Structure 1
Amino acid sequence: MLPPLRPFNAASSAPSWDPPASGPDRPELILHIGQSKTGTSSIQRVLGARRADLAALGICYPASPGWANHGMLPASLVAPEALGHFNPALWDGMGAEARLARFRREFAAEMGSLPDKTRLVILSAEQCSGLLVTRDAIARLRDLVAPYAGRIRVVMYLRRQDAHFASGYTQALRVAQISPPGLPPYGPDRLPHYDYATVLDDWAAIFGDAAIEPRIFERASMVNGDAVDDFLALAGVPLVVPSDDQDRYSNLSVTPAAIELMRRFGEAMRGTPEGLSAASPLWRRFVAAVSDAMPGPGWKPAPAEAAAFLARYAAVNEATRRRWFPGRPSLFAEMPVGAPDGTSVAESAAIDPDAALDAACTLLLHELTSAAQREAQLLVAQGRLLDRLGDEAAAAHAYRSATHAVPDHPVAQARLADIALAAGDVAAAEAHHAVLLRRHPDHPQTQRLGRLLARTTAARP
């Protein structure tokens, strides 16, 4: 059974707590609490996609809190009104309270039935550092996971505040927070999540200093300059993830022109009956399409603006360095400076309002191309079904329709060639093969058809 949740009371002080002694019956547990925009999505997707491999190594990446992001875990520990722009897809079409109640049951069952060989449990949710902002809330998380763990390690990646805010600007647009790009004129009093000294102190007060393992999100400070490799090494997970694996590239930013397009489309949606909302399926589809079509560097502030913003955090960053990184000369690396002629290093990422039209055209082309591919795939699937049913004429019609959507579709072209050969029309088959040779010379269907035509030609009298 899960321990009962303590009442929500941000003002209360968490009681002292001694971690249970580790033993063979309780695995080590790593809590990866963020922060956001530090490779968390990539880490989570890599782990989620490899659950079977991890299980074989005695490592559990639980599924009940989420397939990749374990956001249900912290969401279950705060009042519903505190969830803000929490991803509505996680509710599975249910109300938040009902879905969270189901999570609590499933999490208790999953953690209570871990295989005996489990040596490590990894929980990863950047929402932990975003939602659990009081010691009382952090203590609720501790009380939730402690019965299942021996040693607990709390891992948090810290990113320089100006770079983090700039990276988060695109993410804010994705959740329908439409505003012009710019760094806010606030310090840690108004943006306490950037007071890393206090954040780490709060987590240390609940889990103990020895449990806290902060990391710096900079290439020079991470294994292979990569968050995924760094986290796997830190966790002692012997997985090799290829550098080109798609799971490594999650939640990327977009081009400056795409940012302007998102802003303009968001403003246009405000005037529709549906309105603009992070929960809107239309808005989420649009954002996903933009992200897929136009990945890019995002928005970056000019060095002078970034320096002024970062100066407000000098004291808290120094306090963080002294306590957690005494061997570093500064908490973060030096900021980049402008070019000798005074040109901003961010100038290449400056947002050009006139580029929104170009971005819209790029998106439209991408969507039309994708739609054509989907249409062709459906027609090819229909053709294959008709093949199995023995309706050759209808199958041929489906394959021809597929080539109307995508003229060089390799399967459709190859099947039309097969049908032509069966009818004795070698010339038509050769014409289809010629299309494949021009556009897909190395495709298996092209190679297969070439061998078939060669045998057919050789067999001619």
Structure 2
Amino acid sequence: MDAILHVGVTKTGTTTIQKFLRENCEILGRQGIFVPRSIMFPNDFGQHTGLSAISASRAGNDYATKWLSRALVPAGADRGEGLERLHDLFVQEVRDAGQHRKAIISTEAMSHLGRAEFVEAHGILSRLFDRIKVLIYLRRQDLHAVSLFNSMVRIQLPVLDLFPDPPYPHHDFARMVSDLAESFGRANVEVRLFEPASLEGGDSLGDFRLACGIVDDPSFFIPERQNESLNAKQVAFIHHLQCANGENTLPPMQLRAILDELECEERFMPSRAAAEAYYRQFAAGNALVAREFLGRDGPLFDEDFGMYPESAAIGDFITVEDMARAMIRHLNVERRIRIRKRKAKARN
């Protein structure tokens, strides 16, 4: 049996792809495609976080092991021992699925790791599969940073800078792809671009299915796009809330009620100059990836920056009146919750 290891990167439709794989395991099985369950993160989506966690543990990356093993290893248990037990379950699951011709493993967490973890992942998979193809989608670094900022704001994680200095290590695509090539073999690494003009039908899931040789089936469950972006007012509101409230967060239901009050057609975008300056830091590395892995000279990505405004600040997208309406909505939600609690207490 061969294997396809899909390693992201994040913000390239990975959640939708993983939900598709999770929900269509049986149908894919009839096509001879095996989707492991043992190393899936136990949520509604199905990232194969277990492989990244085991690789990080074996590479001695304690920080990544702690981050990746949450919910995979019971609280209080030894992480290393728990992950080795998970590895044994995975090995047995693969052996029991020997009638399949191909396995698909999807874990974008791998793209945040490095060569030591890639070597460990290769060691794990090469003992189980005849051939391993690594599939990686790359998204232009400035657009990826904007999407990542949006996602972090949505889940109320503190964000210091949209375009950090020094830049995110995982935006060094030349290093990442070269490390994958060193670990798995250059001929086994396929680079694809997360750009509408490069994706089959302009769609990441359709492109992924084509790259993996998945035959269309009318009974497939096709998930809606996951992790849709907030609008500009919503981003600005949460950002201001974080600045004022530190790490204290609002309960999801209350936050959702507030965000519903902030209607806006615009998406938050930083200034064109800031976006382009961030992107240009990676010009040489991107050109190397284009030349070495796509066989062409010139830039790796489309270099149109017309989607950005000439100037922008996060405070430009929300007014004091917007903030007031949102907080009134928040207070009304809290009032209804208190009333329901009092009524429930009175009935008891």
TM-score grouping bracket, smaller chain normalisation: 0.7 to 0.9
1:113 counterpart residue number: 96
What is the CA distance between 1:102 and its match in structure 2? 4.2
- Residues 119-128 or 89-98, more deviating: 89-98
Match of 1:73 in 2: 51
Residues 123 and 338 of structure 1: CA distance in aligned 2, closer, same or farther (over 3 Å) = closer
Counterpart residue identity of residue 252, structure 1: E
Give the Cα–Cα distance (whole angstroms) in 2 for the partners of residues 257 and 199 of structure 1. 35
User: Which of 205, 213, 222 is residue 228 of structure 1 equivalent to?
Assistant: 205
Structure 2 match to 1:163: 143
Inter-partner Cα distance in structure 1 for 2:52 and 2:260 = 29
2-side partners of 1:285 and 1:48: how far apart?
27
Residue among 156, 178, 183 paired with 1:206 = 183
Deviation at 1:240, TM superposition (A): 4.7
SS of 2:300's equivalent in the other structure is coil
2:164 to 184, 187, 202: 184
Q: Is the 8 A contact 2:255 2:330 kept in 1?
A: no
Q: Check conservation: 1:223, 1:229, Cα contact below 8 A.
A: yes
Identity among equivalent positions (%) equals 27
Is 2:58 the counterpart of 1:58? no
Greater shift, 94-103 or 57-66, is seen at 94-103
Q: 2:303 aligned with 1:334, yes or no?
A: yes
Distance in structure 2 (CA, Å) of the matches to 1:225 and 1:120: 26
| Closer, same or farther: CA 243–51 of 1 in aligned 2, 3 Å | closer
Secondary structure class of the residue paired with 2:105: strand
Q: Say which SS state the counterpart of residue 317 (structure 2) adopts.
A: coil
Offset, 1:106: 2.2
Report Cα offsets for 1:59-111 as digits up to 9, x if no partner.
Answer: 11111111511112101222332357558455565657165344223212212
Is the 1:80–1:96 Cα contact (8 Å) retained in structure 2?
no
What code does the residue aligned with 1:260 have? A
SS of the residue aligned with 1:257? helix
Equivalent residue number for residue 43 of structure 1:
17
Q: Contact 2:191–2:293 at 8 Å: present in 1 too?
A: yes
Q: Give the Cα–Cα distance (whole angstroms) in 1 for the partners of residues 139 and 301 of structure 2.
A: 8
Alignment of 1:261 with 2:244, yes or no, is no
Q: Is the aligned partner of 1:136 residue 2:89?
A: no
SS in 1 for 2:134: strand
* In structure 1, distance between residues paired with 2:268 and 2:199: 24
Are the counterparts in 2 of residues 91 and 99 from structure 1 also a CA contact under 8 Å?
Answer: yes
Gaps of 5+ in 2: 338-348
Aligned counterparts of 2:311 and 2:219: Cα–Cα separation in 1: 31
User: Counterparts in 2 of 1:375-394, with a 5 A limit?
Assistant: none
What CA distance in whole angstroms lies between the structure 1 residues aligned with 2:329 and 2:255? 14
SS of 1:123's equivalent in the other structure is: strand
> Is the counterpart of residue 238 in structure 1 residue 247 in structure 2?
no
Change over 3 Å in CA distance of 1:174–1:104 after alignment to 2: farther
Give the direction of change, closer, same or farther, for the CA distance of 1:147–1:154 in structure 2 (3 Å limit): same
AA of the residue aligned to 2:296: G
CA contact (8 A) 2:254 2:334 kept: no
- Once superposed, what is the RMSD of the aligned Cα atoms? 3.8
1:267 offset after TM fit, Å? 5.0
Residue matched to 2:290: 321
8 Å Cα contact 2:271-2:312 kept in structure 1: yes
Q: 1:228·1:248 contact (CA, 8 Å) conserved in 2?
A: no
Cα displacement string for residues 152-190 of structure 1 (whole angstroms, at most 9, x for unaligned residues): 10011111010000100022235653236632243xxx5
The 1-side partners of 2:67 and 2:155 are apart by: 7
Alpha-carbon offset, residue 219 of structure 1: 0.5
* Corresponding position of 1:172: 152
Instruction: Give 1:248's aligned residue.
Output: 224
Amino acid paired to 2:178: D
* 2:34–2:100 contact (8 Å) kept in structure 1: yes
Instruction: Measure, in 2, the Cα distance between the counterparts of 1:242 and 1:368.
Output: 46
CA distance in 2, matches of 1:359, 1:291: 7
Letter in 2 for 1:166: V
Name the residue aligned to 1:307.
Answer: 276
Q: Structure 1 225/201 Cα, relative in aligned 2: closer, same or farther at 3 Å?
A: same
Q: Deviations over 1:188-242 (max 9, x none)?
A: xx53321211211111011111100010000000001010000000000113589
Amino acid at match of 1:74: S
Going from structure 1 to structure 2, the CA distance change for 1:240 and 1:250 (only over 3 Å counts) comes to: farther
3-state SS in 2 of match to 1:30: strand
The SS at the match of 1:148 is coil
TM-score between both structures, scaled by the size of structure 2: 0.79
Aligned residue in 2 for 1:127: 109
C-alpha spacing 1:36/1:87, structure 2 compared with 1 (3 Å) = farther
The higher relative CO (CA closer than 8 Å, separation ≥ 6) is in 2
Name the structure 2 match of 1:10.
none
Instruction: Report the TM-score, using the length of structure 1 for normalisation.
Output: 0.61
2:318 paired with 1:352: yes
Change (3 A) 1:319 1:91: same
User: What letter is aligned with 1:43?
Assistant: I
Cα–Cα, structure 1 residues 317 and 240, in superposed 2: closer, same or farther, change >3 Å?
Answer: same
